[in-house]
Structure 1
Amino acid sequence: MDLTLRRLEALAHPARMAIVRLLAELPDEHTAYDPRCGTAYGVCFCHLKEKTGLSGPTVSHHLKLLREAGLVEGVRVGRWTYFRLRPGALEALGHELLNLAHQAAKVSAKAV
């Protein structure tokens, strides 16, 4: 399946979109940082579960689909996994949609 299609399908579900929004915020009190450089590892699973109100297995399922679409990555720190967005993947999807919009605008302008 086309990567763009997988990404759009992943974002089309309300729960997955809620998770993406939570990860975009990276709330300080629930974000783990690398003590050496200050880079954010991401948000803990328990925060996503609490904020979405979904069960653990359901959150895991949605994270799996977001990871498979390349939108989210998990960073393992000790025995914990923290989740964060892959901004480049979202930007690539945005650019593709923007290119389509520009193409459509050109076609519309010629038709007038």
Structure 2
Amino acid sequence: MTTTDLPLTPVAADGGCCGPAAPPMDVAAARDLARTFKALADPTRVQLLSIVTSHEGHEACVCDLTEPVGLAQPTVSHHLKILVEAGLLEREQRGRWAYYRAVPGAVDGVVGSLSSLTPVTAPTGA
């Protein structure tokens, strides 16, 4: 094979040998994703999200969430507030009780964001 038969590697506009394969995540999206990760970094919040999404209609009253996690209602409400602020749950007041429901597509969005951060194929041997 001669050197004229070798494929040429494109040079990035900045003069480097490799440019990004896809545009990187912007600052606002990174902040939102980090807030979501922070909300999910607590096992109680992951458990609460799981309980809510497993209920019929993907919603549950706060009164149904205290016993499964073994915490007082104010503590559970605090955890739920963080999940709401992260965009994973929605809150609706019905009389004296608050009901929480999963935001449609929120968990799928987190998974989609993660998949965009990882390479599709791992490099093979060196």
Which amino acid in structure 2 is aligned with residue 25 of structure 1?
Answer: S
Q: Percent identity?
A: 37
> Residue 14 in 1 paired to residue 43 in 2?
yes
Q: CA deviation at 1:15?
A: 0.5
Point out where structure 1 has 5 or more consecutive residues left out of the alignment: 29-39
**Cα distance in 2 between the residues matched to 1:25 and 1:79:** 23
2:81 to 60, 64, 68: 64
Point out where structure 2 has 5 or more consecutive residues left out of the alignment: 1-27
As a proportion of its length, which structure holds more strand?
1
Contact 1:41 1:75 in 2 (8 A): no
Over 6 Å off, 4+ runs:
none
**Cα distance in 2 between the residues matched to 1:80 and 1:41:** 16
Q: CA deviation at 1:71?
A: 0.5
Which amino acid in structure 1 is aligned with residue 123 of structure 2?
Answer: A
Aligned residue for 2:101? 84
Number of paired residues? 97
**Cα distance in 2 between the residues matched to 1:21 and 1:41:** 9
Shift in alpha-carbon separation, 1:16–1:63, aligned structure 2, 3 A: same
**Cα distance in 1 between the residues matched to 2:114 and 2:58:** 29
Which amino acid in structure 2 is aligned with residue 97 of structure 1?
Answer: L
Q: CA deviation at 1:110?
A: 6.6
TM-align CA RMSD:
2.1
TM-score by length of 2: 0.68
As a proportion of its length, which structure holds more helix?
1
**Cα distance in 1 between the residues matched to 2:34 and 2:51:** 22
Contact 2:58 2:102 in 1 (8 A): no
TM-score by length of 1: 0.75
> Residue 25 in 1 paired to residue 54 in 2?
yes
2:70 to 53, 73, 76: 53
Where relative contact order (Cα < 8 A, 6+ residues apart) is larger, the structure is: 1
**Cα distance in 2 between the residues matched to 1:84 and 1:23:** 6
Rg larger in structure: 2
